[in-house]
Structure 1
Amino acid sequence: MASDLASNQETLVTVFGGSGFLGRNVVRALAKRGFRIRVAVRRPELAGYLQPLGRVGQIHAVQANLRYPASVEAAMRDSHIAINLVGILAASGAQSFDAVQAKGAETVARAAAAAGARMVHVSAIGAHENSLSAYSRSKAAGEQAVLAAVPSATILRPSVVFGPEDQFTNRFAALARISPMLPLIGGGATRMQPVYVGDVATAVAEAVDGKARAGATYELGGPEVLTMREIMEIILAITERNRMLIPLPFGLAKLQALFLQFAPGALKLTPDQVELLRSDNVVSDAAKAASLTLEGLGIAPDSMEAIAPQYLWRFRAAGQFQRNGA
């Protein structure tokens, strides 16, 4: 272990999108393994909170914007490994799905190839070039561009990711705090395999450590396949909220999303997000058969019911002081 840490100290890893929800967990996982970490973000002056995750001088933030190739090339200078975590859940202005998740991924991959660096690219389960969702199509285009530039790149496709700062469980818990009912888009039958952010970060670190297959695509899911209704029920049980779950047909949900795409915070819903919910988001049988999963990397995934209570307690009526049954 000590020898591994010593050798890793000679390896510089550039993490694009390292200040986000998944990014900070990836930076922490890499820091524990002794890597030198360069965090490439649009606003490095706002990423100072990452430095305490490692030793003095181990983590350094630099400016980079995937829409500007020169900044990406500068961020990759002298780097041995590139990690691309950059992604958006909703397009806005110049930050379109294509610009960020397709062309942006290509820009990182080309910079990695020019630097002779290995690459780990985080995509998403459901990425497909013929998807009705612009999000999924751009994710698929990004994967293709990465492998075209760096054929040895490892692609990681997580299902929906949960954790303390997520925009998934926290969003519905926040909605339950202000609304007497929660919508079940498409009846809540869509199946997902929620995966803990810490497990995804560990998978990224394993790939950086060379323990993932070069050129392979891994699908990362948690230990359980749950419907949206079951996920909502778990969140309500943890937050101790009694709320009605109202089925909402896809057509009506998409109509509402035309207006809610401009709403703030937890109320925001885009037509593209409705499209995403038309398809299940689970690890494929092919990935399981090929051991291209968390388990294939030697990671035993944590369940939502085991992790979510550690941070969703703040949505209870009395927070951490809520008594059971109160």
Structure 2
Amino acid sequence: MVLLLGASGLLGHNVLRILLERGVPVRVLLRPGTELLFPAPDVVRGSLLDYGTLLAAAAGCDAIVNCAGTTDMRLPRTEDFLPVNRDLPALLCRVLDATGIRTLVHTSTANTVSSGTPGWPADESAPFAAPFDRSPYAISKKAGEDLLLAYAAAHPDRRVVIVNPGFMLGPYDAKPSSGALLLAGWRRPLMAAPSGGKSFLHVRDAATAIANALKRGAGGRYLLTGESLSLREFYALQAQVCGYRQRFFTLPTPLVRLAGRLGDLLARLGLRTMLRTHNTDQLLAGEWYDASRARRELDFPATPVADAIRDFFAWRASSTHRLRR
């Protein structure tokens, strides 16, 4: 039995789907008020930050998969991210100690790793570096990683796998989360975006690697990254996949930086906005990663990003969700 946390999100839904397809018994712990997009046979409800709830949910399980995370980039302070991104991993270590569960697969982010260069893509040994080391989200995720790595070093009988996904796209993105980037450019005749880029991948590839990690992999960190594309290249690919024409305009870097500074001012006045310097700096950066360790040890697939775009829109069209900007 696997205890799955964070099943209501994009990645969690895809992990749950794969585990159910494989016939793996899964127990899902859902926060009150959250729902799944498809039924699961064993669902319990309670706070992810309550030790007693976690301990009861883990009873009879032999592994835990944690896909839960606070990701709202409008949150102004690192402290806003810490309860789920750092304190939950600490609670899970206590659960491992109390239950004897030996396997934990924890989801972090590729942004805790330096983004590398086209000629020297970063692997898991690369340090935490700018611009991500100024992001409250990434700082909180790094804190959770450091805690788990220290726990694993002190408990060699436990297998702690940390996965570091890039920018995931695909089905079951109900909010949407990362799919908002796709909807922002969908069928717009003119699209403008900053000069940076992301490492894009199909969410099902990340979910497959996580499911495989229950039985495979030595432990430690695994980058789950894909195609490094600038935003210009990404939106050109989306237009090609979706069958429309679009002109693209790269926003001037000084304008993007000015927007970040204005957002910082609004935040000091108490307004929540994603336009913060630590966010806009990331939109000006490229991302180049080496995921060969995960390909080798976790059988991490490499689905084309075009398929991820296609699958996102196909799922939105076939579900109760409607395409809207």
Segments of 5+ residues of structure 1 without an aligned counterpart are 1-11, 52-58, 317-326
Instruction: Tell me the distance in 2 between the aligned counterparts of 1:108 and 1:245.
Output: 46
**Alpha-carbon offset, residue 241 of structure 1:** 4.5
Report if aligned partners of 1:44, 1:61 keep a CA contact under 8 Å in 2. no
Partner secondary structure for residue 82 of structure 1: strand
Instruction: Tell me the distance in 2 between the aligned counterparts of 1:132 and 1:229.
Output: 25
Show the 5 A alignment for 1:122-271. Answer: 122-127=107-112, 131-151=133-153, 152-166=159-173, 167=176, 170-177=179-186, 181-185=190-194, 188-190=195-197, 192-208=198-214, 210-214=215-219, 216-222=220-226, 224-239=227-242, 240-249=244-253, 250-255=256-261, 257-258=263-264, 262=272, 269-271=275-277
Report if aligned partners of 2:47, 2:53 keep a CA contact under 8 Å in 1. yes
Instruction: Tell me the distance in 2 between the aligned counterparts of 1:145 and 1:154.
Output: 13
Instruction: Tell me the distance in 1 between the aligned counterparts of 2:284 and 2:134.
Output: 9
Number of paired residues?
Answer: 283
**Alpha-carbon offset, residue 42 of structure 1:** 0.5
Segments of 5+ residues of structure 2 without an aligned counterpart are 114-127, 154-158, 318-325
**TM-score with structure 2 length normalisation?**
0.75
1:273/1:109 CA distance change after superposition, 3 Å = farther
Which residue does the alignment assign to 2:122?
A: none
Percentage of identical aligned residues: 23
**Alpha-carbon offset, residue 126 of structure 1:** 2.0
Report if aligned partners of 2:108, 2:145 keep a CA contact under 8 Å in 1. yes
**Alpha-carbon offset, residue 303 of structure 1:** 1.0
Q: For 1:101, give the aligned amino acid.
A: N
Instruction: Tell me the distance in 2 between the aligned counterparts of 1:229 and 1:179.
Output: 14
Q: For 2:4, give the aligned amino acid.
A: V
Instruction: Tell me the distance in 1 between the aligned counterparts of 2:21 and 2:92.
Output: 25
Which residue does the alignment assign to 1:89?
A: 71
Matched, 1:299 2:288: no
Partner secondary structure for residue 225 of structure 1: strand
**Alpha-carbon offset, residue 21 of structure 1:** 0.8
1:98/1:233 CA distance change after superposition, 3 Å = same
1:181/1:99 CA distance change after superposition, 3 Å = farther
Of 25, 48, 63, the match for 2:45: 63
Matched, 1:113 2:97: yes
Q: Which has the higher contact order (CA 8 A, sep 6+)?
A: 2
Instruction: Tell me the distance in 1 between the aligned counterparts of 2:51 and 2:19.
Output: 25
Q: For 1:162, give the aligned amino acid.
A: L
Report if aligned partners of 2:2, 2:27 keep a CA contact under 8 Å in 1. yes
1:89/1:236 CA distance change after superposition, 3 Å = farther
**TM-score with structure 1 length normalisation?**
0.75
Q: For 2:301, give the aligned amino acid.
A: A
Q: For 1:212, give the aligned amino acid.
A: G
